[in-house]
Structure formats: structure tokens, C-alpha cells
A = this chain, B = another copy of it.
Amino acid sequence: MDIFATLQEEKGRLSQSENRIADILLNDFEFAVNASIIELAGKADVSPPTVTRFCRRLGCESFSDFKVQLARTPYVGMRYLKPEPKSQETGDVAQDIITKAQNALFLLHRSLDLAAIERAADRLAQAEMIYAFGSGGNSSMIAGEFQNRLFRLGLRITASSDHSMQMMMAAAARPADVIVGSSFSGRNAEMVRAFTLAREAKVPTIAFTQSGSPVAQAADMTVPVDLPEGNNIYRPTSTRIAYIALLDIVASLVAYRVQPQATVTLRRIKQQLVVHRDGDDRQLLGD
């Protein structure tokens, strides 16, 4: 658990002085990580012992433990995430994108609904056939990645980004199958229609989307992804990266659930590739 999460939980129970310390953490992170206990106490207008007590309350051994925890939080929050990157220099652009991607992963991790993920993994592992839906470029990529990850485990899966096909597949699917759909915005009306059709046919549906959105409501089960989207129109969505990581998590869990089968399938795929290429065993499973 990271400090900021703990802070969130304890927030209400903090005293006046402790709240002043908390404010400094939130507003002047940069100062806080570099300050000594005396400086921090001074800025918060409290005595050093109060700071020590504050640290303990947040679950740290000591002030220095607290500082380390603080410094280690991958939360980059306001500090690096200026809406605009510093410049159009290659180095700055690179740093901006990578920082945002890392932050998206961090935010994803914090907001993960583990129970929902487990339920989804259980469902997928048991499915006789899986249909992965997604449209609009980003979600179609995710649907494709579902296929890319899950077929390796020996599961039967197909992906489609074509609404007409999705409707037909939803109609063709059976109750022992599963339809997974990805929608970043949650407002993909066509996916809502496909899910509604599936529901009528008693085919279970899992949505990877914003919680509470139309798509989420139309699905039997939702794995929520609630992340803020950056606002620079040139900046591709780091949300995409969070989705992929989430998908990897689900795929890994599914893998554990179908383990014996997966080992065999992977070995076969690998062997196939090795024979096909030039026998270098180090190469990837799929390029």
C-alpha cells in the first residue's frame, strides 16, 4: 500500500496539525520529499514530534521510513503531468509520454477491482468459446489482443471489430460461451446493442469499460477501468497501455486456471515457430 492511499483512508481521523502536514504532502510533494523533519514541521507550523506521530499513524516505522515510502510512490500526480509537455523536443516528448504511461499504470493499479477481475478470469477460463469485441481503433486493438493472448492458452477465441459481425456472432453464440467487449468511452452504442442481443440469448457478457457507462450497464459483468484521459489532442491515450496491462492480468489469471492445457499449447506454438525460423530457442512466442 502506498502512502497516498493510506492518507486517503486516514484523512478523516487526522487532527488539525496532522492535516496541515497532509496538505503539504499533497500540495508540495517536491518540498516534502526533500525536507528534513524539522523543515517539514516548520512549514506545517507544528513541532517535529507531531510529524513523527503523523508518520507512525500512516503506518511507517519512523520519519525516514516515511520519506522513503513517500519517495517511492510511483504517483507522479501533478508534479510531472503538466497538461502540455515542456517542449516539442524529442527528449521532452519521450519523457512526457513515458511518464504519462507509467502514471496510467499506477492509476490502474490503484483502481483495480480484483474481485471483478477474478470473476472475469473464472468465466473466461470456463468458456467453450470466446468472442472478443471492440471497435474504433483502440478497442479493436484490445479485442485483437484478447485473441492474441488467449488463443495461446488453448482457448477458442475470435475477435471482431465489425459491428455487423458482432451482431451475428452474438446471435450465434451459446450460453456456455462468453462475449468480452472493450470500450474506452463506454458509449459504444453498437456494442450496447450487441450485448443486449446476447443477454436475450442468455450468452454471458463481460465489459472492460468505464463503470456505470451504457456499455457497463448492458453487460452481465464489468471489469471497470476508470482513468482520466489526458487532454492534449496530439497525445495518444496512455489509457491504451493501462487496458493492455489489465488484459495481461486477466490473461495471466486465466492461464493459471487452465494451466495444463496452456503449457501444452504454448509448447506446440513455440516448437512450430522454432522449426519455422532458424532454431534459435530464445526467440519470442510470436513476433
Which A residues form the contact surface with B (CB < 8 A)? 33-34, 36, 64-65, 67-68, 71-72, 74, 88, 90-91, 93-95, 97-98, 101-102, 105-106, 108-109, 112, 114, 117-118, 121, 134-139, 141, 144-145, 148-149, 183-185, 187-189, 229, 233-238, 240-241, 244-245, 248-249, 251-253, 255-256, 262-263, 266, 277-278, 280, 283-287
Contacts and interface: CB of A to CB of B under 8 A. Distances in A.
Q: Which of A105, A144, A149, A262 lies at the interface centre, i.e. has the most chain B CB atoms within 10 A of its CB?
A: A105
Given A64-B67, A67-B68, A98-B109, 6 more contacts: A93-B253, A97-B248, A97-B249, A136-B286, A137-B148, A236-B251
A-B residue pairs, 10 tightest by C-beta = A136-B287, A71-B71, A137-B286, A136-B286, A234-B255, A137-B148, A185-B283, A236-B248, A90-B114, A98-B109
Contacts of A262: 234
A134 B237 CA distance: 22
A280 B187 contact: yes
Q: How many copies does the complex hold?
A: 2
Contacts of A134: 287
Nearest to A191: B287
A52 to B, nearest CB: 16
Contacts of A187: 277-278, 280, 283, 287
A148 B144 contact: no
Nearest to A69: B71
11 contacts: A68-B71, A74-B102, A90-B114, A97-B249, A98-B106, A101-B245, A102-B102, A139-B287, A149-B236, A185-B283, A234-B255
